[in-house]
Amino acid sequence: MSKKLFFIPTFILGAFLLFTPSCADNCKDVDCGTGVCVDGTCECGDGFEGTNCETEWSAKFVGSFLGADVVTASTAGTDLGTYNLTKPAVVTRKSEVSISISNFGGFDSFVDATLTSSDEISINYTDPAGRKFVGTGKISGNVLSGNYVVTYSDNTTDTATFSYTK
């Protein structure tokens, strides 16, 4: 076999590799945890945030809060005033998108809430005493605030806004 016949295919292969665009894997060294890497950037699913999807949404809610509820008896239309929490409302994690709040509204019970985004909750829960709580809330820094309606077993309701600080 002639040396020319050997060098011609080698030259063609080398030229092909030299001028063919490389397919760099921008995600090769990116760990997105529970998320997915797209072009070198992590896209997090519900319940997670951060550069590498390393932070659970529920983490920022967890803790002890003190504050007040401003309450109106909707059924009677009576302003019931401000109720200051004498013991803290304590938020615990149930999952990355679910929390439980004990002593919510000063009721010596708890409600469960679903995180609808990284800083917002939806409450639709009947506590063990039979009171139904429906409302929304948002955390900003160390302040959890929002509103809710509580319906009692006799179908009377109270409407409240709350603001609690960690």
Q: Per-residue pLDDT for the chain (166 aa), expressed as one digit of tens each? A: 555 554 455 545 455 544 555 566 889 889 999 899 999 999 999 999 999 999 999 999 999 999 999 998 776 667 888 999 999 999 999 999 999 999 999 999 999 999 999 999 999 999 999 999 999 999 999 999 999 999 999 999 999 999 999 9
Strands (E), 21-117: 36-38, 41-43, 48-49, 55-56, 63-73, 78-84, 89-95, 98-102, 110-117
pLDDT computed for residue 116 by the predictor:
96
pLDDT computed for residue 23 by the predictor:
60
pLDDT computed for residue 141 by the predictor:
96
Which 8-state DSSP code applies to residue 50? Answer: S
The pTM for the full model equals: 0.79
